[in-house]
Structure 1
Amino acid sequence: SRWLKNQFVIRMHHRLSDAALYEIQESFADLRLSGKYHQQADSGAEHEVGNYSHLTRLTFAFNGRDQGRLRELVDFINLPENWAKPQPMHTTQRAREALKVS
């Protein structure tokens, strides 16, 4: 995690499901100063190097005070049932193969 332009950024190995993101908006609203939680891919604004540029980010205006509550948010993020289902690779591959012209 890190601060970037008044936003707190949590890097995640797994994208959150829509239901989990909604639950975060509702249940962890007390951690935000304003706005909403935003889930996004690397925007390029961070100029990430190394092993972090591929990670999904959860950004929000953190109040900077409630560290214990922030830990609860991290624990919620780390629950596998809150992760988005990965898209099957084989359907994408089949779609590409169908586009090939002989």
Structure 2
Amino acid sequence: TEILTFYSNFHSYRFIKDLMVIRMHHGLSAETLASINADFCDILKSGEFTCCAAHPEEANETHLLGMPRLSFRAKRGKAGRIRQLIDRINAAAPGVMPCQEKATEQG
């Protein structure tokens, strides 16, 4: 059960320089993104949690390019809080992330 829940929305993560990028099966609503920014600001080295498209460094992972992403600069030594963040991501209802809305409007 733990494994099934762990991957219910969370797919994977990677670091691109000092940026942690979490790939998800579905996006998060603007409200969920705002609550994550408020509730998990203690794990930010700087900046805030933002949605983003695939980075050029991920170009070789073509099967992952269309996935919604949450990116942030994480403090070191916060693995437990990052796990709690993943749990929040998994518990969130599917939504359209603000960056997805912009892409839809422009497309």
> Is the shorter-chain TM-score for this pair beyond 0.5, marking a shared fold?
yes
Matches within 5 A, 1:1-102: 1-81=13-93, 83-84=94-95
More strand by percentage = 2
User: Under a length normalisation based on structure 1, what TM-score does the superposition of the two structures give?
Assistant: 0.75
Q: Separation in 2 of the partners of 1:62 and 1:26?
A: 15
Supply the distance in 2 between the matched residues of 1:75 and 1:21 (Cα, whole angstroms).
Answer: 14
Stretch deviating more after TM superposition (40-49 or 9-18): 40-49
* Counterpart AA for 1:35: G
Normalised by the length of structure 2, the TM-score is 0.71
CA–CA distance in structure 1, aligned partners of residues 79 and 85 of structure 2? 10
Unaligned runs of 5+ in 2: 1-12, 97-107
- Moved >6 Å (runs of 4+): none
Greater Rg over alpha carbons, structure? 1
Structure 1 gaps, min length 5: 86-102
Aligned-pair Cα RMSD in Å = 1.8
Q: How many residues align?
A: 85
Task: Please give the secondary structure, in 2, of the residue aligned with 1:34.
Answer: strand
**What percentage of residue pairs aligned between the two structures are identical?**
33
